[in-house]
């Protein structure tokens, strides 16, 4: 861990939310948690349907999909979870991480960072040669009609703190971003996108997604693979991959970009 990193300033997040006229202001800011998703889920258990925004300086058991680890070194990133009822998103569960990706990319753009999405839930930078570097991810959990949407972003991680060779941080890509401003901007963009016309995020997703148009290798949930050109996004949010002239819709899987569009 790097010393001297300041803790999140909750009053600054609140004032940044207020300056954007946000109504998602039920905010919990903590220094250390197991996972912000766990805490948001607990809040929903005690107050079902009451929207809560949880963020923390450090997660000791941050996780990704399929219980994979998510590295959240103290003071270096954003660990943010929004707990709310499914109806807040008014969409099918499978599309929620996708429209969240659009909101996060828009928030980053508004703070001067140009980044891309990799289907289904990765926030990436893409080099000219097509090399993918992940700096963030999105994790959706559901319990009945309640959902928790977790967003992790590597803001200030140093090279030694990166968990994998293919990861990076905003800092390492040359961007200095205030964590408080980024949290407020993400919340603001999520509020906007959830009150928007349901179809409008799709076109924006396709603009921001580096996967559609690329040749990909997909690892499916059962461990099998398929390879082909990712041609489009299905209505359900699935990725359509053309394999030997047959269009296959992938709903769950890990994607490797083989050739960039």
Q: Which is nearer to ligand BT5, 17 or 80 (CB)?
A: 80
- 196 to 255, contacts with ligand BT5 by CB under 6 A? none
Q: Which is nearer to ligand BT5, 165 or 244 (CB)?
A: 165
Task: Give 35's contacts (C-beta < 8 A, 6+ positions apart).
Answer: 59, 61, 62, 63, 79, 81, 150
Closest distance to ligand BT5 from the beta carbon of 154 (Å): 5
Closest residue to ligand BT5 in the complex (CB): 137
The whole-angstrom separation of Cα 155 and Cα 177 is 7
Position among 75, 83, 101, 137 found at the interface with ligand BT5 (CB under 6 A): 137
Q: Which is nearer to ligand BT5, 170 or 197 (CB)?
A: 170
Closest distance to ligand BT5 from the beta carbon of 164 (Å): 5
Say whether residue 3 binds ligand BT5 (CB under 6 A).
no
Say whether residue 42 binds ligand BT5 (CB under 6 A).
no
Say whether residue 35 binds ligand BT5 (CB under 6 A).
yes
Closest distance to ligand BT5 from the beta carbon of 45 (Å): 17
Position among 24, 70, 89, 119 found at the interface with ligand BT5 (CB under 6 A): 70
Task: Give the interface with ligand BT5 as residue ranges (CB under 6 A).
Answer: 35-37, 59, 62-66, 68-71, 79-81, 121-122, 134, 137-139, 150-152, 154, 163-164, 167
């Amino acid at each position: 861990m790097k010393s001297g990193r300041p803790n999140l300033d909750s009053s600054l997040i609140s004032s940044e939310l207020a300056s954007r006229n946000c109504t998602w202001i039920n905010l919990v800011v903590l220094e250390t948690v197991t996972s912000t998703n766990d805490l948001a889920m607990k809040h929903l258990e005690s107050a079902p349907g009451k929207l809560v925004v949880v963020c923390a300086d450090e997660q000791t058991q941050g996780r990704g999909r399929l219980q994979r680890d998510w590295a959240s070194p103290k003071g270096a990133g954003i660990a943010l979870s929004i707990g709310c009822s499914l109806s807040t998103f008014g969409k099918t569960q499978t599309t929620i991480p996708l429209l969240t990706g659009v909101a996060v990319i828009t928030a980053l753009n508004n703070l001067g960072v140009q980044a891309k999405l990799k289907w289904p839930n990765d926030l990436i930078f893409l080099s000219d040669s097509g090399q993918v570097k992940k700096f963030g991810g999105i994790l959706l959990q559901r319990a009945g009609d309640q959902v928790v949407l977790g967003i992790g972003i590597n803001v200030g991680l140093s090279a030694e703190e990166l968990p994998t060779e293919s990861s990076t941080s905003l800092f390492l890509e040359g961007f200095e971003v205030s964590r408080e401003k980024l949290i407020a901007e993400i919340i603001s963009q999520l509020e906007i996108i959830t009150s928007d016309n349901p179809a409008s995020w799709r076109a924006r997703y396709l603009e921001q997604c580096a996967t559609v148009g690329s040749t990909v290798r997909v690892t499916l949930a059962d461990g099998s693979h398929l390879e082909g050109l990712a041609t489009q996004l299905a209505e359900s949010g699935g990725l359509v991959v053309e394999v030997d002239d047959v269009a296959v819709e992938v709903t769950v899987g890990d994607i490797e970009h083989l050739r960039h569009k």
